[in-house]
A and B are shown apart, each in its own frame.
Chain A
Amino acid sequence: MSDNPSAEPWQRTVVLPSERGTSRLVTDDLLEQLGLYGWPQDEIFGIHLAAEEALVNAAVHGNKLDPAKRVHVECHVSPDLVRLTVTDEGPGFDPEAVPDCTRAERLEFPSGRGVMLMRSFMTRVEYNPRGNSVVLEKRRGVAPSPAE
């Protein structure tokens, strides 16, 4: 809880079960804090989208919805920076190996857009070497720079 948003960053660590529909346990608070810190609606949209994609990826693809595994989330919100770290307990993956969903032959595939959307709306998206943890960062007013 932050009664004086301008003074201190809001930080929270959340551990989620690997179930569908649990992302709201993070995003509801995150959206509230973004509003309190005065983030513009268009940037809140992109942050919400990136967070949703990362949280679903971690539970569904990372942990394969294994009830024994957890998704670990660290949130940091300040007036000019949002940082989310989402870590699953799966084996990890190579984000560079995800096919480009905008290529003509992939355009009508119904899945595979999560990582691309994160990169499109956040300033920095960085996976650890194992590929089971991603840092999503958005600097206020700074346009995203999607990876090639």
Chain B
Amino acid sequence: MDEKVGKFWDKYVTKKASRLYEAEKVLFEERARSLKIFYHLLGGDKAKELHITDKRFLKTSRTLLEKFSGKGKSFFLAWQDEKALYFPASLSYFDDKNLNEMHYYWLCAMLAHVNIKSNASINENKKAANFLIEKYSGFKDFHTNAEAFLLERYPELSTIKPLNEDLLDDNSYPNPLWIYPSHSSNTMLLDFDDEEEMGREDGKKDKTEELKMKKKAEQINDDKETDGLLLFLPESLMSLMEQVNVDRQENDSFDEDALYNAEDLDEITLGKKDANLASRIKMDLDISANSAEDYPLGKGHFRDEWDYKKESYLKNYVCIKPQISIYVEAIELPKRLEKMMKKIHSELDLMELDRIKIDNLPYGDELNLDTWIDYKGHKNHSNHPQRFFQSYKKKTRDMATLILADISLSTEAGITQDIRVIDMIKDSLMVFAESLQRLQDRFSIYAFSSIRNKKVNFHIIKNFKEKYSDRVRGRIDLIKPGYYTRLGAAIRESAKILEKQQSANKLLLILSDGKPNDVDRYDGRYGIEDTKKAIEEVKQKGITPFCITIDVEAKEYLPYLFGRNSYAVIRDAKKLPKVVTEIYMNLTR
């Protein structure tokens, strides 16, 4: 009973103390995609992601009621670091929904104009604000209204105006219209140096790892790809449970409950790394996969990798290990695919409507009037060849297609209880191969997975020379989920193979289930930038890249990697086998 009364009282006082307008609240998650596009419009860095921010503690002057209720000592402020922008999960400062929505756009515009290196000083904020007011009449109206409104509602705000001190500190009442420095802006730079150095050392795991667990929301330095876990023996894993890893940078964490629970926690320990859902606990178990069946072809060779920070290639940095399964059984097309294949075949046959006309035949399907008129127009009939017919022939397309399948560990994930992603990828490969065989287009199939730069397994399923046969199907059937997705390296290797083909049209079709990632720094921006670079190289070689993915988050990064017209996101992974073929037909029509 006591508890109930207490709760009620708490609710009442909190509500009373709140100067926000709950009814007019605008949620970030509903605006996230729009804000991202808006950020791009204003010239923001396209590789940056948008996230919600956690609470910030500030020592501010509060109203008596606020002190009483415990409100007003922590704030959700907008800020950014090198990787992302952070917005409050909801905004409700104003008594008008439109203004609150505009508030998000304003913050977004500010973030695009505030110099990230300037530590978000008051001057910098003012400069950016003035710029926006000057340029956009819409923002001018908003700012005038908002400022007046806020000053009236939050008289404390006026106290920061005459401050001489240029740096925004934690003592003054936060201005909701401003951009605040990164959580750990002073440690930030350090972190980046660390990461740089890290790359060279290539993650020496035997070094004693320190887990920085500072008081108050700070970032645990888990640059060393451990997610705070790897250094420990698996037996001691349980003892680590007190470190709650709430991943701030996880994109799919808009789960409402989680959001509000998080709001109530006083302190959240934040991991800095993007974690792929399926690989949140990453453990490199060092077991060689399928060694019984996979036969390595040579010792492997090296490819370059792009380091976006140095803006240069790391020469011969990645080791590619081509391999092929031997002792494979020849198998027929699985029964489950027969029905679909039949349907696709009939669709492919329809494509024969796409025929080309061949003129000047001595005999053929139809009379060609043009040649007849030509003949008539000729003075010397005997010199003119009497080829008046035309025929239609199926378009032979000078195509070479390389299919590159991502078979990282994440493909082990289930779609339904008995179907895994990898099963769908295998089915797709079979259906696709069958279709291309029917179209008589040249193709090859490769699959890859990686463990750091040391080993990118590049499985040959079918190369361009080999004929499509039951053995190829056997190899497809043997595909097993491997390790990680060092996409850039695999793309470069594929480009090398395609480059040698004589066909006029070359297509690199990538089947993927998620972002590029690996156990080292390849996770996150480094991997994205390397992949982007690899795609650019592919395009320069006259090869068309196209990516088909089942990652619904892919809209966030694929346009940046491949460009607007070169990717497709498939929401229902079960449709993958059918859609892959359809996409191919559309691409080459």
The yes or no verdict on A and B being binding partners is no
- Residues on A facing B (Cβ under 8 Å): none
